[in-house]
């Protein structure tokens, strides 16, 4: 018997639009938003500065259902991969019914940092964290941003371009590993001397869990929040001694209401953007970093001359 299944919405599509002023942005994005709502029933979700958001509301009126995503400026702004992880959680919830989402975002120069690396990392990470979701995200960038890396990465991180004629393939697109090979992921900011350091091996993971449990108590975490952080650090610490090096290290910074734990091993990691895509249900292993990202507020992975570092942060 032949069964005619309903067509599945497409997976993640990531498009760049160049716009140097609000008028140019509205002219490009408003028709695309109307088309997405009309042709696929998509919600339209915005991450735009307030004046641009209002202008798009005024332009579209009641034609399109508009919503707002969590602003990038309220995120763990030093880590593009962390933003990509929580953006994936947010959009996974919005698309859980199968209804697609059309996202409109815009470059914010206040998040550039010293070299624009935040945007390089974020856009590369989104290509991993949002893969498979029925989301079309259009990202607006100026043609000549202050940092050259921002402009170059905007082009190579987007498989599609939005032009007056519609969406077109971008021949300059490159996969995340190639993009980040040219600009390695930077470490997060320095925190000063840790409150605790310890070395451990595979047989000493209980020492790691005990140390994080005590640090969560010092930070005045409630039971559930403390247990989440213990599990998150345990997942990362286990990966370090199973896949990185026989011995690894843990550093802990405990403040009232905030706990930071950093795991370091001497192994080399090919691409630091691990744990961004949910593992397939049939996948027996490789879930640890993804689980850890779900349990803490920020998880940042980077390479250094002494090996691989993973920093986890949770707040009460």
Report the pLDDT averaged over residues 128-144.
Answer: 96
Comma-separated ranges of CATH 3.30.565.10 domains in the chain: 196-315
Write down the pLDDT at residue 285.
Answer: 64
Q: How large is the average pLDDT for residues 119-123?
A: 94
Percent of the chain with pLDDT over 90: 77
Read off the pLDDT band of 280 (50, 70, 90).
Answer: confident
Q: To the nearest whole percent, how much of the chain has pLDDT over 70?
A: 93
- Does CATH place domain 13-182 in 3.40.50? yes
Domain 196-315 in CATH 3.30.565.10: yes
Evaluate if residue 7 carries a pLDDT over 80: no
Report whether 211 contacts 252 (CB < 8 A): yes
Name the pTM for this structure. 0.90
pLDDT, tens digit, for every residue of 284-314? 566 889 999 999 999 999 999 999 999 999 9
Of 85-89, 207-211, 212-216, 284-288, which gets the smallest average pLDDT? 284-288
Q: What is the pLDDT of residues 81-120, one digit of tens each?
A: 999 999 999 999 999 988 999 999 999 998 888 888 999 9
């Amino acid at each position: 018997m032949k069964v005619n299944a309903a067509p599945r919405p497409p997976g993640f599509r990531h498009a760049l639009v160049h716009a140097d002023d609000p008028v140019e942005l509205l002219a490009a994005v408003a028709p695309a938003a109307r088309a997405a709502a009309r042709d696929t029933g998509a919600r339209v979700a915005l991450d735009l500065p307030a004046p641009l958001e209002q202008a798009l509301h005024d332009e579209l009126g009641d034609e399109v259902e508009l919503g707002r995503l969590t602003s990038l400026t309220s995120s763990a702004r030093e880590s593009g991969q962390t933003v990509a992880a929580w953006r994936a959680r947010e959009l996974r919830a919005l698309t859980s019914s199968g209804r697609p989402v059309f996202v409109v975002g815009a470059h914010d120069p206040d998040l550039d940092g010293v070299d624009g690396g935040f945007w390089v990392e974020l856009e590369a990470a989104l290509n991993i964290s949002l893969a498979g979701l029925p989301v079309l995200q259009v990202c607006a960038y100026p043609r000549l941003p202050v940092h050259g890396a921002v402009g170059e990465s905007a082009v190579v991180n987007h498989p599609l371009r939005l032009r007056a004629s519609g969406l077109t393939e971008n021949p300059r697109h490159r996969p995340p590993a190639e993009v980040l090979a040219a600009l390695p992921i930077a470490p997060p900011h320095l925190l000063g001397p840790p409150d605790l350091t310890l070395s451990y091996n595979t047989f000493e993971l209980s020492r790691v869990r005990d140390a994080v449990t005590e640090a969560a108590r010092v930070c005045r975490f409630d039971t559930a929040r403390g247990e989440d952080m213990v599990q998150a650090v345990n997942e990362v610490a286990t990966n370090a001694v199973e896949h990185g090096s026989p011995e690894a290290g843990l550093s802990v910074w405990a403040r009232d209401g905030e706990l930071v734990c950093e795991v370091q091993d001497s192994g080399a990691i090919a691409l630091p953007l691990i744990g961004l895509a949910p593992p397939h249900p049939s996948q027996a292993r490789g879930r640890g970093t993804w689980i850890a990202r779900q349990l803490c507020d920020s998880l940042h992975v980077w390479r250094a001359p002494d090996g691989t570092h993973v920093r986890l942060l949770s707040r009460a």
